[in-house]
């Protein structure tokens, strides 16, 4: 067979290396310069072709003149301009999708809308070409994001902002300053998914799909996924956590569904479909599609492919893929990319490369390299890949890095952790702890946490301890720090059942704000504690997002905390949410005041639900009720009512607390223990309280609870807040002022009386 291979990078060198192993090959032509292929193919039946990879007319003429049997297209640019269409129209067999089918890669907006139409799992998204509209959208959403240029950007069109300010700056560069030209004229703002990434590539003839081995690319420049995004700093295959069953299921639900959808829309896809996947708790979700082999995945996959690549490519081009099977070698392959100094922005070139001729038991695939007179020089960003195949991943990693030690050139960059994090997770994961999930959880939390920071936060998330610049204490006459620690309690069980977690973040922050508010304090910072059986990054990030929203509303820094994965300590799927708050108050403004007296009135402010108390009893009473049931009394699904966030009373009471006439003598937060246990906590030994039943409208939830559970009245007022979340103690003569200063309905629900420190229901 006479083969024309379009492309000249590392991917194409790996394809050429594999094509040369085919007994069907008579001659291979490649659109590269001679010095690009001298290292691998100097004495092979390979001839370079001095034609641009996007010149359709010249490529068609060459294929006709040289009786080319099959054209294999490597890069995305020829696909984007329709080289496959031109060749097919001329009657020349081609392995590579049409321009219309390749739009699954060349237009991210098309790809996302296509996935939405065909119910292929992917992240939430929105498409923009207007800077003002895009920035307004940023202010409306609360989840971590990715910004992507819709067009082809040579691997430089994906941005991971860590703050709203950074995101808006990226949008300005793309949409106003046109830093990526037409590629960034249209952008996507996507939800940032979390989980390990996997590349699953597959051969297709437009109908049949045959998957390759799952591979994992390493995009960031530095170890531990730090530094700028690159075209890829290395890869390995197969991925241990993606077994045969996973491959079959993912091929059917994503790859085959995509091929079927493209065919149904009149865009039959012939070639390699590349799915970049995120392994989320809800299963694999598509990050992006490519319409060709990936780089650097191709280098490791070709070293593992045991079948004839020309047999596969011809079967795709002639719609006979269902007639063949594909064989893969046992073991694993690891590829390490050696990059030039300055990559990915301004790679240095022309540096002499030493040590290539001494390598054994590995394969070298040049990319940005040229060879002249027996010497080799850097000529691009990613200079070359070193790939080793061995019986297992650990051995392949060891051999790859042993080979790397023998190569050198000035400014050489490479990652030292290709495949190693997977090995660590495999070993440590035997104890049930997922390191990658932990790292991803922190990554997802970061944007939400930092949104609560002001200039006073000197160190927060990621540090061993939070640092808060307490300069405002200097402005106070007699400052007192007030701290409180609490937890959400068994309400988390309902959140798990309902798969709804954000309100838990509101619960713990607002509960804590209220706990120090009863002492007159305003919050400075909050520290959270999250614990679970197994980390699910999306769940933890959702809770922390709720915390950050509540902290921002309270002008409180979410300074940091602890997220603990403890398999065996917590039941499977369960978690715990707790936290500590620190606030400050002038000593002479602390509550309760010392002038509490018999006759002082108790004024109730409404709760937003059961807050964070009484859920052991609530869960028992409603155990046989589906959470989506709508009771006539509630007018909402039960889950929505039970998971209503614990409200904060800081904005409700702030004006009254700061008023010069000081109407507030004391506050009572109705938490665990209800009325009977919480009111005495603020009283001196010589005062008790009387609560007048029926003096406020008891909320429908508690009426229904008492009726269904046949709960005695006294127990209801001991367990629940009964619709009153905060009580203000006020002198009778200042009642009218207090009610004027509180901008919502209140009720006079009782009074203080002389006698034993206890509460009577009257």
Predicted structure pTM score: 0.58
Compute how many other C-beta atoms are within 10 angstroms of the C-beta atom of residue 664.
Answer: 25
- Which residue, among 493, 491, 497, 517, has the nearest Cα to 682 in the 3D structure? 517
pLDDT at position 435 is: 46
The burial class, CB within 10 Å (0-12 / 13-18 / 19+), for 206 is buried
Segments of the chain with pLDDT less than 70: 154-155, 422-448, 459-464
For residue 247, is the peptide bond before it cis, meaning its omega torsion is within 30 degrees of 0?
Answer: no
How many whole angstroms separate alpha carbon 449 and alpha carbon 185? 31
Prior bond to 540 cis, omega within 30?
Answer: no
Going by C-beta distance under 8 Å and a sequence separation of 6 or more, which residues neighbour residue 339? 221, 230, 233, 347, 381, 382, 383, 412, 413, 414
- Which of 300, 292, 260 has the alpha carbon at shortest distance from 275? 292
Q: How far is CA 660 from the centre of its chain?
A: 48
- The owner of tokens 């079959």 is 248
Domain architecture of the chain: domains with CATH: 2-95 (3.40.50.20), 435-589 (3.30.1330.10), 601-761 (3.90.650.10)
C-alpha distances (whole Å) from 243 to each of 214, 239, 290, 362, 715 are 9, 8, 23, 26, 54
Euclidean distance between CA atoms 667 and 746, whole angstroms? 14
Burial (CB < 10 A; 0-12, 13-18, 19+), residue 395, is: middle
What is the SS3 assignment for 431?
Answer: helix
Residue from 621, 624, 633, 482 nearest 556 by CA:
482
Which strands, in side-by-side order, build the sheet including 158-159? 125-128, 187-191, 145-149, 158-159
Cross-strand pairs, 46: 28
Which residues, 6+ apart, have CB-to-CB distance to 423 below 8 Å? 393, 394, 397
Contact 528, 558 (CB under 8 A): yes
Nearest to 349 by CA among 372, 379, 385: 379
Phi, psi of 255 (to 5 degrees): -70, -50
**Burial class for 496, CB neighbours closer than 10 Å (0-12, 13-18, 19+):** middle
Per the CB < 8 A criterion, the answer to whether 689 and 724 are in contact is: no
What span, in angstroms and rounded, lies between the C-alpha atoms of 76 and 198? 20
The closest of 648, 640, 650 to 506, measured between CA atoms, is 648
> Which residue from 737, 728, 693 is spatially nearest to 601, judged by alpha carbons?
728
User: What is d(CA 672, CA 612) in angstroms, rounded to the nearest whole number?
Assistant: 8
Burial of 83 (0-12, 13-18, 19+ CB in 10 A): buried
Which residues make beta-bridge pairs with 576?
531
Among 755, 701, 690, 756, which residue's Cα sits nearest to residue 727?
Answer: 690
736's CB contacts (< 8 A; 6+ apart) are none
537-594 pLDDT tens trace:
778 888 998 999 999 999 999 987 888 888 778 777 789 999 999 999 999 999 999 9
Tokens of 329: 């070698």
C-alpha torsion angle, residues 165, 166, 168, 174 (rounded to 10) = 160
Question: What Cα–Cα distance (Å) separates residue 90 from each residue in 64, 101, 275, 319, 460?
Answer: 9, 18, 30, 18, 63
Phi, psi (degrees; rounded to nearest 5) at 273: -100, 125
Q: For residue 661, which of 738, 547, 749 has the smallest C-alpha distance?
A: 738
Question: What count of Cα atoms within 13 Å lies in the side-chain half-sphere of residue 584?
Answer: 14
């Amino acid at each position: 067979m006479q083969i024309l291979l379009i492309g000249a990078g590392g991917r194409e060198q790996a394809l050429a290396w594999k094509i040369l192993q085919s007994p069907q090959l008579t001659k291979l032509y490649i659109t590269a310069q001679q010095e690009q292929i001298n290292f691998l193919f100097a004495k092979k039946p390979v001839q370079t072709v001095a034609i641009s990879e996007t010149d359709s007319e010249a490529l068609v003429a060459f294929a006709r003149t040289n009786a080319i049997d099959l054209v294999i297209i490597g890069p995305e640019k020829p696909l984007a301009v329709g080289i496959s269409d031109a060749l097919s129209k001329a009657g020349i067999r081609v392995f590579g999708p049409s321009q219309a089918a390749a739009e699954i890669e060349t237009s991210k907006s098309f790809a996302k809308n296509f996935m939405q139409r065909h119910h292929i799992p992917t992240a939430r998204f929105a498409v923009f070409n207007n800077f003002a509209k895009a920035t307004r959208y940023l202010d409306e959403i609360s989840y971590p994001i990715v910004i992507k240029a819709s067009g082809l950007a040579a691997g430089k069109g994906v941005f991971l902002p860590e703050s709203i300010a950074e995101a808006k700056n990226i949008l300005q560069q793309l949409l106003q300053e046109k830093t990526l030209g037409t590629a960034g004229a249209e952008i996507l703002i996507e939800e940032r998914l979390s989980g390990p990434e996997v590349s699953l590539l597959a051969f297709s003839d437009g109908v049949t799909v045959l998957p390759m081995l799952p591979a994992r690319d390493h995009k960031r420049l530095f170890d531990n996924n730090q530094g700028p995004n690159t075209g890829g700093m290395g890869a390995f295959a197969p991925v241990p956590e993606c077994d045969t069953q996973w491959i079959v299921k993912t091929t059917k639900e994503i790859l085959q569904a995509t091929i079927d959808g493209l065919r149904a829309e009149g865009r039959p896809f012939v070639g390699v479909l590349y799915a970049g996947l995120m392994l989320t708790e809800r299963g694999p979700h598509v990050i992006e599609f490519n319409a060709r082999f990936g780089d650097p995945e191709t280098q490791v996959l070709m070293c593992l492919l045991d079948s004839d690549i020309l047999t596969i490519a011809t079967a795709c081009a002639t719609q006979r893929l269902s007639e063949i099977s594909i064989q893969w070698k046992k073991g694993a392959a690891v590829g390490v990319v050696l990059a030039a100094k300055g990559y990915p922005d301004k790679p240095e070139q022309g540096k002499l490369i030493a040590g290539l001729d001494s390598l054994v038991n590995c394969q070298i695939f040049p990319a940005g390299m040229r060879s002249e007179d027996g010497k080799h020089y850097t000529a691009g960003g990613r200079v070359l890949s070193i790939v080793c195949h061995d019986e297992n991943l650990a051995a392949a990693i060891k051999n790859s890095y042993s080979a790397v030690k023998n190569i050198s050139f000035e400014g050489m960059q490479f990652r030292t952790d290709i495949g190693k994090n997977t090995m660590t997770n495999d070993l440590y994961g035997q104890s049930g702890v997922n390191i990658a999930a932990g790292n991803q959880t922190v990554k997802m939390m970061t944007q939400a946490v930092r949104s609560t920071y002001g200039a006073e936060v000197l160190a927060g998330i990621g540090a061993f301890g939070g640092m808060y610049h307490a300069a405002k204490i200097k402005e106070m006459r007699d400052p007192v720090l007030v701290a409180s620690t609490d937890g959400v309690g068994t309400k988390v069980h309902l959140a798990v059942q309902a798969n709804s977690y954000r309100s838990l973040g509101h619960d713990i922050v607002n509960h804590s704000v209220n706990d120090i508010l009863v002492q007159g304090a305003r919050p400075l910072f909050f520290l959270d504690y999250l614990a679970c059986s197994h980390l699910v990054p999306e769940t933890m990030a959702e809770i922390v997002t709720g915390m950050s929203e509540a902290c921002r509303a309270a002008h409180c820094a979410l300074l940091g905390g602890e997220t603990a994965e403890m398999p065996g300590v917590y039941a499977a799927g369960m978690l715990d949410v707790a936290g500590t708050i620190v606030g400050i108050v002038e000593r002479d403004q602390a509550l309760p005041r010392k002038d509490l007296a018999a006759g002082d009135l108790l004024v109730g402010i409404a709760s937003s639900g059961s807050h964070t108390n009484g859920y052991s009893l609530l869960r028992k009473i409603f155990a046989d009720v589906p959470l989506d049931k709508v009771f006539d009394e509630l007018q909402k699904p039960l889950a929505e009512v039970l998971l209503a966030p614990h409200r904060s009373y800081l904005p409700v009471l702030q004006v009254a607390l700061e008023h010069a006439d000081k109407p507030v003598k004391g506050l009572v937060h109705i938490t665990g223990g209800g009325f009977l246990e919480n009111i005495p906590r603020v009283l001196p030994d010589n005062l008790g309280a009387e609560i007048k039943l029926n003096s406020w409208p008891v909320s429908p939830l508690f009426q229904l609870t008492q009726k269904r559970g046949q709960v005695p009245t006294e127990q209801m007022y001991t367990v629940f807040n009964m619709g009153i979340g905060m009580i203000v103690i006020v002198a009778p003569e200042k009642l009218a002022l207090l009610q004027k200063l509180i901008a919502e309905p209140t009720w006079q629900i009782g009074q203080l009386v002389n006698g034993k420190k206890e509460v009577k229901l009257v």
